[in-house]
Amino acid sequence: MRRDLPRAVGRTSRAAPAAAAARPRPRAVDGLPALQRAAGNRAVAGLLAARSGATVVQRYETEEHATLGAPGTRVTVAGIDMTQGEMITMGDFFTGVDQMEAHPQQVRDVLAAIRRGGAGTADWQRATGGRYLELATANQAHFGPPNAALVPVSGTSTADHRAAFVAGHSRALWESALGHPDVAQRHNSFAGHFLTDAFAAGHVVNKADVMARFAARLTDADAFLSAVAARAWAIPGVVATMSRYEENSTPLHLDFDTQGMFERFLKGVSEAKPELVPNSIAKVVHDVLNGLAGDASVGGLDVANDRGDTWRLSGDGTLARSPDTQRIAAAAVAQSNANLAAVAGTGAPAMTPERTDALVASVWTFVPHPTAAGTAQIDAIVGRLTDPANAALVDAFAQLIAGNLDAIVEGATALGKIRPIPPSLLEEAQRGWQRLNDWRTWAGAAGVQVP
């Protein structure tokens, strides 16, 4: 609002917390039945129930990754001892073993948070010196290779979990052959992060191709963000959060206390961070695929592997629902360990490209790929959730924005785009709002019609 306006007038449009809490809950989501048939009612319900505290991170829960290491196998990095499972989790916090060795205190902090349990995004940010969310966004290496049978290949993919595992396991085999077992296991266990990512339903698709498919279908970005803003504005908590901030990029310092201003805010964030929207679309697809295991009528993504196993794959947050996924993923990690033992001390000449390829293949033979039924599941979900006009996508995106709004406004504040409203002005606005409500109450009791 303009600073030269009388404050009692210029701030009374701000919704007080009590008023925000009294706003009606969002109405039933239109267009969900088709998505629910494809993804399962519980999976969609879980996605749409996301609230404050959710993150944009696309990964197995830390505890899930840790359960897939071989019992009794220890790893030492930067002088710090941990289980293989704990080392497997490190792929979410570091770019590689070298970075871990360069930042031993960060390794200690991450490991301490893992062992405490219950850590959230803020904890991981502190433990990694602020790199965590950056890694969580630039995470193509955690997703599957391009596969035209699942998503049209865009040619924009720069990394995938198979390539990341092959690079790490090949390095580990070489170190083992040279007689460096500790170094070998560091690289092997870190590579195990990408191997175990391949056992999550939400990571079967190629992330870059999902984003590219949405981009190809997006003909009116403003209209899409307007629809998302309208949905998000009705979600409890959004009004209360945004009403604490004002614009910082113009002399007017307009408040974000209306749907129109919130829409303006989202569009400004999208312009400042162009990766936000496509990454969020990939996140929505990722969550629904992982959530298939949460619906008893679906049970997971239909998959098979080259060993002849067939089962229903779980995903991030649903690993415990699929004993088959746990068993087969753990067997893949065990095979990677066995490969190190098979070449230990054999010397560099023994590690021919053919030998390396055969050993990598002996691990990858455990990895799932969608069956015909699984491919149909993915096609239905990706088809709907990369369609900007689909009501289910708009609502899911809005829920994602609402669940991450604290982090979004923190980032926008850091960029200088918005700023918190001074507490004195907030208090004055709340008092003005209360006086207005009191007057309306009095007028109503006196039989006076008020607008």
- How many CA atoms lie less than 13 Å away from 1 in the CB half-sphere? 20
Q: State the CB neighbour count (10 A cutoff) for residue 264.
A: 16
Mean pLDDT of 404-427: 80
pLDDT of residue 67: 85
Residue 418 backbone dihedrals phi, psi, to 5 degrees: -135, 170
> What distance in Å separates the CA atoms of residue 328 and residue 300, rounded to the nearest whole number?
15
pLDDT in tens, 338-379: 999 999 999 999 999 999 999 999 999 999 999 999 999 999
Highest mean pLDDT among 13-17, 56-60, 176-180, 271-275: 176-180
The CA-atom distances, in angstroms, between 92 and each of 81, 149, 200, 423, 440 are 18, 28, 14, 38, 54
- How many CA atoms lie less than 13 Å away from 341 in the CB half-sphere? 6
pLDDT in tens, 212-241: 999 999 999 999 999 999 999 999 999 999
> What distance in Å separates the CA atoms of residue 340 and residue 233, rounded to the nearest whole number?
54
Work out the mean pLDDT of the chain and round it to a whole number: 84
pLDDT in tens, 163-182: 999 999 999 999 999 999 99
Predicted confidence (pLDDT) at residue 435 exceeds the cutoff of 70: no
Predicted confidence (pLDDT) at residue 41 exceeds the cutoff of 80: no
Radius of gyration in angstroms for the set of CA atoms belonging to the chain, rounded to a whole number: 25
> What distance in Å separates the CA atoms of residue 180 and residue 174, rounded to the nearest whole number?
9
- % residues pLDDT > 70 (the chain): 80
Query: DSSP assignment of 316-329, as one string?
Result: TTTGGG-HHHHHHH
pLDDT of residue 19: 35
pLDDT of residue 84: 97
Tell which residue, 113, 142, 115, 116, has the closest CA to residue 126.
113
**Number of helical H runs and strand E runs in the chain:** 23, 7
Mean pLDDT of 249-274: 86
pLDDT in tens, 285-340: 999 999 999 888 899 999 999 999 999 999 988 998 999 999 999 999 999 999 99
Out of 41-50, 69-78, 82-91, 102-111, least confident range: 41-50
pLDDT of residue 426: 58
pLDDT in tens, 9-37: 333 333 333 333 333 333 333 333 333 33
> What distance in Å separates the CA atoms of residue 120 and residue 53, rounded to the nearest whole number?
8
pLDDT of residue 430: 61
> What distance in Å separates the CA atoms of residue 322 and residue 183, rounded to the nearest whole number?
33
> What distance in Å separates the CA atoms of residue 386 and residue 396, rounded to the nearest whole number?
12
Mean pLDDT of 378-403: 95
Mapped onto helix, strand or coil, the DSSP state of residue 74 is: strand
Element (H, E) at 82: strand 80-83
Mapped onto helix, strand or coil, the DSSP state of residue 366 is: coil
The CA-atom distances, in angstroms, between 365 and each of 44, 305, 359, 360 are 31, 6, 10, 9
